[in-house]
Amino acid sequence: MTGCGRRRLGQTLLALLLLGAASVGWAAEARLAIAANFTAAAREIVAAFEAATGHRVVASFGSTGALYTQITQRAPYHVFLAADQVRPALAEREGLAVPGTRFTYATGRLVLFSREPDLVTGEATLRAGTFTKLAVANPITAPYGAAAVEVLRALGIYQTVERRLVLGTNIAQTYQFVETGNAELGLVAASQVAERAGGSRWLVPQSLHSVIAQDAVLLTIGAENPAAVAFLAFLRSGPARAVIARHGYAVAE
């Protein structure tokens, strides 16, 4: 099937799902495990989805690694929106997700950010090393943290700045370290500062780190949940894709 054909099929499926959801008796609740970097965009998409379908969504936000651990321990999530491709694929292989439902819903970007308007001038800010603290997400559990470490290694400064790193449990906490002044700088998600005025920032070239492709997947516990199935369809719709793009992500065709 061609790309256009797949899009038409997806649009038809979405229309059928929304039509069915219009019936009060068909409304259901979906529980979503969502990567912290996608918080702002997800809240907007969830609100639009609930208004369009009558379904209800309960969203939990956290680091991808921590959420995946909860999923392996049979946490009652129906849908998983990760900040990487590794955990959703692993969920499929381990029988925790429905095969064939995984897709990339967004591709993230890293930004070096400071709330100080003149501090960030580019990679030179990192190389100069005149800062006291640099916030990054935990590279073990957060894909954006792993990408941040890749950037520091690619620039050849990881060993120099390692002792000045402040680790957030997820990218949301990492951004808060910078926003509250607990760290002068942070390697955060571009989506977190896409609509923030002020401060200074440098969009990190993608050549300095692995692609941050973010996959969504239907978990086995949600296979028969109409709200979960409808949400994944909605996530691929034009309105949802517009929200994703506005929040600083690249959207796959």
- Give the domains, in start order, of the chain with CATH numbers: 3-107+211-246 (3.40.190.10), 110-203 (3.40.190.10)
Cα 48 to Cα 183: distance, rounded to the nearest angstrom = 35
The pLDDT, as a whole number, for residue 195 is 85
Please report the pLDDT score of residue 93 as a whole number: 97
Angle at 46 between CA 43 and CA 51, to 5 degrees: 130
Per-residue burial over 48-60, b = 16 or more CB atoms within 10 Å of its CB, e = otherwise? bbbebbbbebebe
Q: What is the amino acid identity at position 105?
A: Y
Q: Among 190, 134, 141, which residue's Cα sits nearest to residue 163?
A: 134
* Residue 1, pLDDT score: 47
Q: DSSP 3-state assignment of 110?
A: strand
**In the prediction, which pLDDT does 190 show?**
94
pLDDT of residue 160: 95
Residue-level pLDDT, tens digit, the chain, 253 residues:
454 544 444 444 454 455 444 444 478 999 999 999 999 999 999 999 999 999 999 999 999 999 999 999 999 999 999 999 999 999 999 999 999 999 999 999 999 999 999 999 999 999 999 999 999 999 999 999 999 999 999 999 999 999 999 999 999 999 999 999 999 999 999 999 988 999 999 999 999 999 999 999 999 999 999 999 999 999 999 999 999 999 999 887 6
pTM value?
0.81
Gyration radius (Cα) of the chain, Å: 19
